[in-house]
Amino acid sequence: MDNLSTTPSTSQTGAAIGERITGSEALLRGLLNEGVECVFGYPGGNVLYIYDAMVGNPDFKHLLTRHEQGAIHAADGYARSTGKVGVCIATSGPGATNLVTGIATAYMDSVPLVIITGNVPTTVMGSDAFQEADIISITMPITKHSYLVRDAKELPRIIHEAFHLAGTGRRGPVLIDIPKDVSNQQISYTPSDLQINLRGYQGVPAPNRDDIIELLQAVEGSERPVLIAGGGVIYSDASAELLEFAEKTQIPVATTLLGLGGFPSSHELWMGMPGMHGTYTANMAIQQADLIISIGSRFDDRITMKLEGFAPQAKKIAHIDIDPAEIGKNIPTDISCVGDIKAVLALANKTARPAQSAGWISDMHSSKRTYPLRYDNDDSGLKPQFVIEMISETTNGEAIITTDVGQHQMWTAQFYQFKHPRSLLTSGGLGTMGFGFPSAMGAQIGNPDRLVVSINGDGGMQMCAQEMAVCAIHQLPVKIVVINNQVLGMVKQWQELIHEQRFSHIELAGSPDFVKLAEAYGIKGLRAATNEEAVRVWQEALDTPGPVLVEFVVPKEEKVYPMVFSGMTLDQMVLGEFQ
């Protein structure tokens, strides 16, 4: 985006041998050398030298958000949508701690980020100085690695290592904490090819051929196999290999929330999403399967539900994953294939043969016809499912969709037909409200020629609504959708179905007029409360250049079905009014 604030320094390519520069200038050059296109951040006292180094630097692009949480979610959205490492920056103390939720979000979903925080000068560290917080200790459980920089001479190496760590193996966030005096320290800078030599950091092992042979033998002997494809398929850019494997082995595919888009939703072998709000066909197939193959999915509890009753008829369970720590962690595994999913599937595809699954596939097609996802599109108001279907049809499934967390997230997973990987950006593991909108900004910057639609609930939208200023100023053409049911919908659904309608603190009374709020930020705002209005205003939003917010007013009584209650097995689904 050319209209972002551009303040690159003397450029990463023109440094003279032995040139004297500050740690801050070394940081910016290091980021540019790593190919960073945009840094998302918010300045403060202990990163002032870093921000000062940006002045007059035409190569360095920085996007000023309105909250540090907006910055890290934007960096996250950039990373998920592009496959590159996202970068954000914040000052010490409250600036750094405001990043914690975003760091945990990225860690849970294996998103590659490099997070740069300022800290108090080394001379006062440990003295409870103004805006001091031990961010290394605070974030240690939710980072892949952390660096506290005590000497600016180490910055070039640390930056290079941080990007390598974040973007290789099982990806994740890496934090670099830079004290203020270190950022102003003068060093002799010499451009050089930095070598990676990280003791104890193992590369991704090559696929074990014997494990793959065992897997393929299990496939050939199976009559009721199921593939569960997760986010790892997308992170490994292995969608093409998965498609080939499914077609060669003739195995039906269920894609997890983070795996949506990793397998074409229009394919005859696709069964939908499994789990708590999964499709009837996917859940019943897992419960009746004689072979389960998890590919880049960690058997999360929202997929397995009651562990003791998961896939009770499976004679064997296989797990393909880049992280050996995930093998057998939640579900006992009979066959394990550790390695990069793209490499594992590419090797498997060379000799893969079909399972004995013709009857099984026929049963699956029959189940999809008998138990489709459905809802009552009656006169009781604009239904959120209708809105998602409309967005899917009008974008032809080609948009990048970001969501917040809650009912609208599940309706999006159910009713938007994803065609491509990296098309759904959502907080899966942590379930972070406030993620959807700022992540869309990062996705739009990383994909300036793509349509980006951010689907939010009225609760989550208010957590980072201030970032509308950024969309307005830079004319980021994100289409902002607010599914407004005037309530914390998913919490209400649980309280109604599980807690015997004992509703407690779920009404979002006093929420703003979202149309007026958008207009206050300089963004066009539209509203719809009927099907006809929805079709009209959504087309107007698509036809309008720049950012637009569309509020869809929907009934608060609408629920997400199917639903599997906690403690139940996947075949104990509540289908709602269609049961």
Give catalytic status of residue 130 as yes or no.
yes
Contact 84, 111 (CB under 8 A): no
Which of 131, 356, 466, 475 does the annotation list as catalytic?
Answer: 131
Contact 485, 459 (CB under 8 A): no
C-alpha closest to that of 443 among 409, 480, 410: 480
Give catalytic status of residue 180 as yes or no.
yes
State the residue for tokens 């649980």. 494
C-alpha closest to that of 98 among 141, 41, 140, 45: 41
Contact 401, 392 (CB under 8 A): no
Report the sign of the C-alpha dihedral through residues 495, 496, 502, 504, in that order: positive
Tokens of 490: 């998913």
**DSSP state, residue 510:** T
CA 473, CA 466: separation in Å to the nearest integer? Answer: 12
Which of 130, 140, 393, 507 does the annotation list as catalytic?
Answer: 130
Which ranges in 168-279 belong to alpha helices (H)? 180-183, 209-220, 231-235, 239-249
Which of 180, 248, 316, 368 does the annotation list as catalytic?
Answer: 180
The helix (run of H) or strand (run of E) holding residue 20 is strand 19-22
Tokens of 493: 């659904």
> What angle (nearest 5°) sits at the alpha carbon of residue 234, between those of residues 167 and 347?
95
C-alpha closest to that of 135 among 166, 167, 178: 178
Angle between helical axes of 100-108 and 68-82 (0-180°, round to 10): 20
C-alpha closest to that of 246 among 286, 312, 295: 295
Longest CA span, the chain: 74
Q: How far is CA 29 from the centre of its chain?
A: 28
Give catalytic status of residue 578 as yes or no.
no
Residue 455 has φ and ψ, to the nearest 5°, of: -105, 120
Can you give the C-alpha Rg of the chain in angstroms?
24
Contact 227, 254 (CB under 8 A): yes
Contact 47, 24 (CB under 8 A): no
CA 289, CA 315: separation in Å to the nearest integer? Answer: 8
Contact 237, 342 (CB under 8 A): yes
Which of 25, 34, 68, 551 does the annotation list as catalytic?
Answer: 68
Which of 273, 441, 490, 563 does the annotation list as catalytic?
Answer: 490
Beta strand residue intervals within 444-529, DSSP E: 452-457, 479-484, 524-528
Residues present in the chain in total: 579
541: exposed, middle or buried (Cβ count in 10 Å: 0-12, 13-18, 19+): buried
Active site residues: 68, 130-131, 180, 490
